[in-house]
Structure 1
Amino acid sequence: DNMTTLQSRLEECREHMEQGVEGAIDEEHRVRKQLSRALLMEEVMWKPRSCTHWLAEGDKNTSFFHDMAKSRQAKRKIRSIEYDGTEYVQSRQILEVCTAYFRRVLDTDEAQGMLFEGVD
């Protein structure tokens, strides 16, 4: 496996650096770049698979994709919101603040005009 090989080479480079072997730092930089490229290629390969619907029906990497989906969901969650100088952290409070804000914004005459612009 290319990743395993690169990780082993990186470890060897670190050992050589500790031993003061000439050129070890340059080699470590080269191996680190190769490993970064390999990781990027692997990410590019897995990204489409993690978003496809058929994964819901099962795959040998189910736990991996489940973890990826949970991670994406966690990133998309609003954990807190500040409104009029007060921070809200409870889901119900966040919902109420957002609802009140958009009601107020969309209740103006200007907003009503924009909403119904072009409607006959």
Structure 2
Amino acid sequence: MLQKKPVLLETSKETSFIRNFMNELVNIAPVVTIYNDNQSAIKIIENCYNKFHKRTKHIEIRYHHIRDLKQNGFINVLYMPTEKMDADMLTKPLGKEKHIRFKENLNILDITV
């Protein structure tokens, strides 16, 4: 069975790479904002759960890595509702209305001949 990789972890790793690369090229290391639709993950990253309990004891190093990036000012993780995630068009099947709205938001043009 194919195991799903945590999207927030993969995004933070790519962000770190791009940020470090930009810093080497032009000596700029901006804070990068990552939008996420999982409020629980954001709360864990923001360290709202100082104590581990039944629901968070499974948290592994990957969340500590993201928390470190946020605390060091490298990334900023903000909540965005699933219905507003334009990137969903690229990752999952959508109904016609959502597809059209996301296509317009991403400025994708229909060039049928």
TM-score, length basis structure 2: 0.24
Max radius of gyration: which structure? Answer: 1
Say which structure is richer in helix.
1
Q: Structure with the greater relative contact order (CA < 8 A, sep ≥ 6): 1 or 2? A: 2
TM-score, length basis structure 1: 0.23
